[in-house]
Amino acid sequence: MTNPTATLLISCPDQQGLVAKIANFIYSNGGNIIHADQHTDFAAGLFLTRIEWQLSGFNLPRDLIGPAFNAIAQPLGAKWELHFSDTIPRIAIWVSRQDHCLFDLIWRHRAKEFIAEIPLIISNHNSLKPIAEQFGIDYHYIPITKENKAEQEIQQLELLQKYNIDLVVLAKYMQIVSEEFITKFPQIINIHHSFLPAFIGANPYHRAFERGVKIIGATAHYATTDLDAGPIIEQDVVRVSHRDTVEDLIRKGKDLERIVLARAVRSHLQNRVLVYGNRTVVFE
């Protein structure tokens, strides 16, 4: 689909006629739906849907789509987001010393696996600066200590603002982001190198080895103020055995981290992820 599309992500109390009312809104305005998926959580009494249609031939100008849909959404008590496929989101990648997720995201970006701009890398170390230069991405070195964390986060927030960042990807940043920060900038995807909720916190591979698990995993989730407890977007696992040392777990885990983080970022950028409570619906 090269011609631009609009996508509505909607969640509202389950009730009769939702599919019809939403579809009619698109159809009556001459829109051609290219993707529609919905999910009803009967336990929660919640209806969630993603609907995408082509803008060419759609009768409403862009700036009127929101207000027009809102007239329908209000009486339904619906929460909704509207996205346009040609509005390119801007990503800041935060890293520490490890480069595998950074390299992977950059390669996928070049391969057009996801459509975004990556103007900014932030790190608490200098080690990955050469990669940033190699690919022409601004690199800001912001070391973190217990003492300076608060003020450094202010600097980080200023950078996100300056670069008009829509999404922060913690690509093995290995630092806890403060509650204050997340409250001010909630759009953060983190990759945790374990099959959450197993091994929350530090050194999951070492603890997985000590526990003698036969499978290890990785989890991509939205960062929340509760450590490693945010809504899970994607997880995957790989089999290990007694022959695998901690180093082997780390090596095998890197492949998981790259793929799981990439899938989560891609789903998010395609507006396929809808969060409700502490859960996600990922529309395929």
Site for a copy of itself, rule CB under 8 A? 16-21, 23-24, 26-28, 30-43, 99-100, 103, 107, 111, 113, 134, 195-199, 210-215, 217, 231-237, 239, 241-243, 245, 251, 254-255, 259, 277-282, 284
CB of 94 to a copy of itself, least distance (A): 20
123, 94 contact by CB (below 8 A) = yes
Peptide bond into 197 cis (omega under 30): yes
CB of 21 to a copy of itself, least distance (A): 8
**CA–CA separation, 284 and 131 (whole Å):** 33
Q: Which is nearer to a copy of itself, 33 or 157 (CB)?
A: 33
**CA–CA separation, 166 and 142 (whole Å):** 20
Q: Which is nearer to a copy of itself, 42 or 146 (CB)?
A: 42
CB of 176 to a copy of itself, least distance (A): 20
- Residue 228 known to be catalytic: yes
3-state secondary structure 24-88: HHHHHCCCEEEEEEEEEECCCCEEEEEEEEECCCCCCCHHHHHHHHHHHHHHHCCEEEEEECCCC
Helices (H), 77-193: 100-110, 129-134, 149-162, 179-184
> What number of residues does the chain have?
284
Q: Which is nearer to a copy of itself, 26 or 182 (CB)?
A: 26
Nearest to 283 by CA among 131, 81, 99: 81
φ, ψ for residue 66 (rounded to 5)?
Answer: -55, -60
User: E-assigned strands of 171-243?
Assistant: 188-192, 215-222, 232-239
Catalytic residue, chosen from 104, 228, 244, 248, is 228
Q: Which is nearer to a copy of itself, 43 or 71 (CB)?
A: 43
Q: Which is nearer to a copy of itself, 164 or 278 (CB)?
A: 278
CB of 259 to a copy of itself, least distance (A): 6
Q: 13 Cβ partners below 8 Å, 6+ apart?
A: 45, 46, 47, 76, 77
8-state DSSP, 209: H
Q: What are the residue numbers of the active site?
A: 228
